[in-house]
Structure 1
Amino acid sequence: MGTTARKIALLLMALTLAACQRSVPPVQFHAQGLPQKLSDWQVLVNDGRTLRLNGGVQPFDLNTPLFSDYAHKLRTVWLPPGSSARYEADKAFDFPVGTIISKTFYFPLPAGKGWDGKSVARTDPAESLVKAGQLDLSQVRLIETRLLVRRSEGWIALPYVWNEAQTEATLMRIGALIPLELVAADGTRETADYQVPDQNQCASCHNTDNLARALQPIGPKARHLNRDYDYAGGRENQLAHWSRLGLLSGAPEPAQAPRAAATHDRTAALDARARAYLDINCGHCHSAKGPANTSGLSLDVATDPGIHFGFCKQPVAAGKGTGNRLYDIKPGDAAGSVLLYRMESDDPAVMMPELGRSVMHAEGVKLISEWVDAQKGDCSL
């Protein structure tokens, strides 16, 4: 298809989508209360065949996503018309009251098969199945949609679980446990007890500052968003796109903004990929102000590699939590490091992260193992 034909096709797609959206009620921000249905917010539109974004809702993605039992994620943000978020170089952007951030967790279905009640495909979570802002419901299984809503008194987290018919999601403040079977490309199967967090568990991760004791977004930070995205109208850097639409104020040109590596990008340096993985998966808790600061272990991108980053640091935990390893990170010896022991475990009393997974992230373990084995140092000195 030539450039002109492609532009015409994209324009027709956009016009068709706009025509469909005119018949859908606009996004509804609820300043109070706990709406029981996801559709009460009108952020996402489900017609039984596709899940798409309502008018004014913007999709986004992260350079390196948080691992969640191999779930894929459709992330969106909606800001009240005429408002914008304030750019922060290192922290989550400062979003205005009325902001709704959504994250829909879904799995692709095994090739050539429909939903059998448990089987989903285990594929790379970085590979989005969102096309032109839509998910084809014949190809995926929706599990849950989490909302992070900015009210006048602060952020509130609301977990919604999709029904069997895939037509609606209902608020589940107590969370849910959903048994799944992950099917790999080679046919091997693995049981996953997928956990939808309860409202308090949402706070345990999103309370990134123990002093403030308030929920905050984790993903919408410059370093995570500084990447290209395939929008319905074409490919564009997300920071530039948000700035152009007036959704973000004060942002520099993308080349001047921080950027985290994508862990699946083999052209990026091993150190950059490993640090990005630890930052998004561990750094919101393991930081100077995070909920895990009593451990003395900081894994966020701001921490210099040294004892506070775990190098030759003896763990606070003892016994079962250490696997009898002496150091959080033992340079040159991944097998002898507590960090890898806890990443490899699926025992709730041992594993890290504590929430958000029931199976080991094999690719993540491989990456961090290679990185630790490449480190130089001698803890006996």
Structure 2
Amino acid sequence: MRNIAWGAVLAPVILALGLAGCEAPREQVTIFERDAVPEKLSAWHLVESIDGELSPNAGVTPYDLNTALFTDYAHKLRTVWMPAGSSARYGEENFDYPVGTVLTKTFYYPKGDKGAVLRSDDYGSDYAPGKAGRALNLETVRLVETRLLVKRGDGWQALPYVWNEQQTEATLKIAGDASRMQLVSENGEAAPFTYVVPDSNQCAGCHADNHTEKSLQPLGPRARHLNKEYRYADGAQNQLLHWQQIGYLSELPEFSQIPSNVDYADTSLSLGDRARSYLDINCGHCHNPAGAADTSGLMLTHGERDMRRLGVCKPPVAAGTGSGNRRFAIVPGAPDQSILNFRVESTDPGAMMPELGRSLVHEEGTALLSEWVASLSGSCS
């Protein structure tokens, strides 16, 4: 395949984040033209399997989200890279990323016995010694896929790469992929499931959150999701400030003007804020005024304040299987009568929400939404 280097750049030392150390020099990050993408992930030199670690290159900066999209209990390592001398411009809803930006998201699981993977919220053993948050330890985790979003002159391109059994290389799978796995919970119970890698067209099903324009957009690296601390090599720092410091973000406003979602699992925080953050990241890409689910009238983004549009006492557009024969999206105080709870608790392809990205029920997430709906007051009579 023709290897066309576009803006191949070695990032400044300040971006290295301690990844280089005494390691052997690595090749520069390479950007390929839309119609000449490589078959192998390693050709990009973004994240590579080297000496038992999945390691981001210099300038390939890891990041995290306040609350992340649920994907069958997979853990994720996210990174961003931008060509030298360019930066994203801040926007409350979307950043204006420069052409050449590459976002990566690597999906993986903690390893269990006999090829099984573990269901765990603990990331502590995922990382290589001394590289918490920056390099994965391939002795303790199983890599599944790495998805790329590449900013082209005409928009974003989605590219899914699937890791081999040896955990040494990932191969481009435009048509997607599926793997049968065993997921073992903390109590030792094993459950079979199929991990699905979406094809490139399915990526647009979520990432084209403006259904009219149908253009892909990054969903995670937005201000409200990034507004939190991350543990970098030289210490913890707010991610937005860090991006600004390394030249990846410009026009950052005063912090009082920056929205912030919360960690849905942090029980010290408001139940309502936790539930709304969960709905925003898992449902808001479709359930927004311009999204694919706009005709439903159900708006689940972080900024929605109209309780009717949020689902309280709102009847469905269409009844039947998808509604579970329930009358309203949310019945205050009654999650067992609410369509929202029915759909997030379902694994029936004709009823489950979100429609893509999961085959399992997120027990912790559904428990949160059930507790939240149960706490709401009012009546739909």
Aligned CA RMSD, in angstroms, stands at 1.7
Pair 1:245-2:242 in alignment? no
CA contact (8 A) 1:226 1:254 kept: no
Pair 1:156-2:153 in alignment? no
CA contact (8 A) 1:48 1:166 kept: no
Report the CA distance between 1:318 and its aligned residue. Answer: 1.9
Report the CA distance between 1:317 and its aligned residue. Answer: 3.0
Distance in 1, Cα, partners of 2:274 & 2:117: 27
Distance in 1, Cα, partners of 2:232 & 2:254: 19
Pair 1:57-2:60 in alignment? yes
Alignment correspondent of 2:260: 259
Query: C-alpha deviations, 1:136-171, integer Å up to 9, x for none?
Result: 000000000000000111100001100111111111
Distance in 1, Cα, partners of 2:216 & 2:122: 25
The DSSP-based 3-state class of the residue aligned with 1:92 is coil
Query: C-alpha deviations, 1:80-103, integer Å up to 9, x for none?
Result: 0010000012x1211000000000
CA contact (8 A) 1:58 1:76 kept: yes
Pair 1:378-2:375 in alignment? no
Distance in 1, Cα, partners of 2:272 & 2:148: 33
Percent pairwise identity: 50
Using the TM superposition, name which of 244-253 and 349-358 deviates more.
244-253
List runs of 5+ in structure 2 lacking aligned partners: 1-15
Report the CA distance between 1:211 and its aligned residue. Answer: 2.0
Alignment correspondent of 2:144: 143
Map residues 325-336 of structure 1 onto 2, 5 A cutoff.
325-336=326-337
Report the CA distance between 1:302 and its aligned residue. Answer: 1.9
Alignment correspondent of 2:109: 107
Report the CA distance between 1:19 and its aligned residue. Answer: 3.6
CA contact (8 A) 2:20 2:58 kept: no
Distance in 2, Cα, partners of 1:309 & 1:127: 36
Pair 1:120-2:117 in alignment? yes
CA contact (8 A) 2:86 2:248 kept: yes
Report the CA distance between 1:43 and its aligned residue. Answer: 0.3
Alignment correspondent of 2:363: 362
Report the CA distance between 1:305 and its aligned residue. Answer: 3.9
Alignment correspondent of 2:352: 351
Using the TM superposition, name which of 126-135 and 310-319 deviates more.
126-135
Q: In structure 1, what residue type is equivalent to 2:64? A: D
Aligned counterpart in structure 1 of residue 100 of structure 2, from 67, 73, 98: 98
Alignment correspondent of 1:81: 84
Distance in 1, Cα, partners of 2:19 & 2:339: 54
Q: In structure 2, what residue type is equivalent to 1:17? A: A
Q: In structure 2, what residue type is equivalent to 1:27? A: V
Alignment correspondent of 1:338: 339
Map residues 159-308 of structure 1 onto 2, 5 A cutoff.
159-308=160-309
TM (norm. structure 1) is: 0.91
CA contact (8 A) 2:18 2:233 kept: no
Aligned counterpart in structure 2 of residue 24 of structure 1, from 23, 26, 50: 26
CA contact (8 A) 2:177 2:196 kept: yes
Distance in 2, Cα, partners of 1:375 & 1:229: 34
Change (3 A) 1:15 1:250: closer
Report the CA distance between 1:15 and its aligned residue. Answer: 6.0
CA contact (8 A) 1:346 1:358 kept: yes
Query: C-alpha deviations, 1:196-238, integer Å up to 9, x for none?
Result: 0011100110001112111000011111000000111111110
Report the CA distance between 1:263 and its aligned residue. Answer: 0.6
Change (3 A) 1:14 1:59: closer
Distance in 2, Cα, partners of 1:315 & 1:248: 41
Q: In structure 2, what residue type is equivalent to 1:28? A: T
Using the TM superposition, name which of 138-147 and 342-351 deviates more.
342-351
CA contact (8 A) 1:65 1:126 kept: no
Distance in 2, Cα, partners of 1:247 & 1:48: 29
Using the TM superposition, name which of 308-317 and 364-373 deviates more.
308-317
CA contact (8 A) 1:31 1:98 kept: no
The DSSP-based 3-state class of the residue aligned with 2:309 is helix
Distance in 1, Cα, partners of 2:258 & 2:300: 21
TM (norm. structure 2) is: 0.91
Query: C-alpha deviations, 1:110-140, integer Å up to 9, x for none?
Result: 3xx4xx33x1000127778341511000000
Alignment correspondent of 1:40: 43
Q: Which has the higher helix share?
A: 1
